[in-house]
């Protein structure tokens, strides 16, 4: 179901997990299917930037990371749509694939975060199938660097490449790696790396269910996030209201 012009996955968490698990354990060819956990920030960024909108429109799956997007999707008729946060999807897939022949590779976060995350996956989920970690530099990578990284990831036998950066950086990074990869899925999950490595506290479940995770994160990181949310919240409400009243993208 399209929300602000971006198709959001409308079948819920269990169906999304099943598709990824079945694909990774099946006999099909690796096709570099891109997944993004897309909340209001991503939707508004796409609204402002047509090129980024094309990136998300070309992704295999955009998970409705925020409650607002999922709510608008339901109001437009997608009764099976539910919020699927990037961190929740990450945690559930890592837990579900523990002990199964599904290999993971972590790419993102500050130096050392991906390695910390690997240790937590072993300790907290019993998943020892993390075959590599990489922290990208804070600059645009050269083509030869992307090729080298892509070869390393592919040679590791990786099934799911997790990218934990910010939007839109993570989606654009996934796109730049595509020509150099051979994996089943590339999944962009934002702050999941920081949450599960213990570097950032995740919002309590009731706050997420109430659609107030943005406020929780704003209170935790006001200097970094206040400008973002000052723009995103009113713009999302405005565009979503127009879309619902006009019936656009039904």
HEC letters along 195-249: HHCCCCCCCCHHHHHCCCHHHHHHHHCHHHHHHHHHHHHHHHHHHHHHHHHHCCC
Cis previous bond, 88, omega within 30: no
Picking from 197, 147, 167, 224, the residue whose alpha carbon sits closest to that of residue 39 is: 167
Question: Mean pLDDT for the chain?
Answer: 91
Query: What is the per-residue pLDDT across 149-183, written as a single tens digit (0 to 9) for each?
Result: 999 999 999 999 999 998 999 999 999 999 999 99
- Secondary structure (3-state) at 8: coil
Q: Are 125 and 99 in contact (CB under 8 A)?
A: no
Q: Is the pTM of this model over 0.85?
A: yes
d(CA 181, CA 188): 15
When pLDDT is averaged across residues 14-41 and rounded to a whole number, the result is: 96
d(CA 103, CA 62): 22
When pLDDT is averaged across residues 110-119 and rounded to a whole number, the result is: 90
Picking from 182, 119, 127, 125, the residue whose alpha carbon sits closest to that of residue 150 is: 182
Query: What is the per-residue pLDDT across 46-87, written as a single tens digit (0 to 9) for each?
Result: 999 999 999 999 999 999 998 899 999 999 999 999 999 999
Query: What is the per-residue pLDDT across 192-231, written as a single tens digit (0 to 9) for each?
Result: 888 888 767 776 777 777 767 767 777 777 777 767 777 8
Quote the percentage of the chain above a pLDDT of 90. 71
- Where does the pLDDT of residue 109 fall: very low under 50, low under 70, confident under 90, or very high at 90 and above? confident
């Amino acid at each position: 179901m399209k929300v602000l012009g971006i198709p959001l996955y409308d079948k819920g968490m269990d169906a999304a997990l099943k598709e990824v698990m079945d694909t990774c354990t099946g006999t099909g060819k690796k096709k570099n299917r891109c997944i993004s956990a897309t909340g209001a920030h991503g939707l508004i960024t796409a609204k402002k930037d047509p090129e980024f909108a094309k990136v998300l429109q070309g992704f295999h799956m955009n998970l409705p990371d925020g409650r607002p997007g999922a709510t608008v999707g339901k109001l437009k008729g997608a009764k099976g749509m539910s919020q699927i946060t990037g961190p929740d999807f990450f945690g559930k897939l890592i837990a579900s694939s523990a002990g199964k022949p599904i290999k993971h590779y972590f790419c993102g976060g500050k130096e050392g975060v991906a390695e910390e995350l690997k240790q937590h996956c072993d300790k907290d989920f019993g998943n020892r199938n993390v075959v590599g970690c990489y922290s990208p530099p804070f600059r645009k990578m050269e083509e030869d660097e992307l090729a080298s990284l892509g070869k390393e990831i592919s040679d590791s036998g990786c099934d799911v490449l997790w990218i934990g950066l910010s939007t839109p950086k993570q989606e654009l990074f996934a796109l730049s790696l595509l020509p150099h990869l051979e994996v089943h899925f590339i999944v962009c999950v934002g702050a999941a790396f920081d949450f599960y490595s213990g570097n950032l506290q995740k919002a309590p479940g009731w706050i997420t269910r109430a659609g107030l995770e943005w406020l929780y994160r704003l209170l935790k990181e006001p200097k970094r996030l206040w400008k973002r949310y000052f723009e995103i919240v009113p713009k999302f409400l405005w565009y979503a209201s127009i879309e619902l009243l006009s019936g656009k993208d039904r």
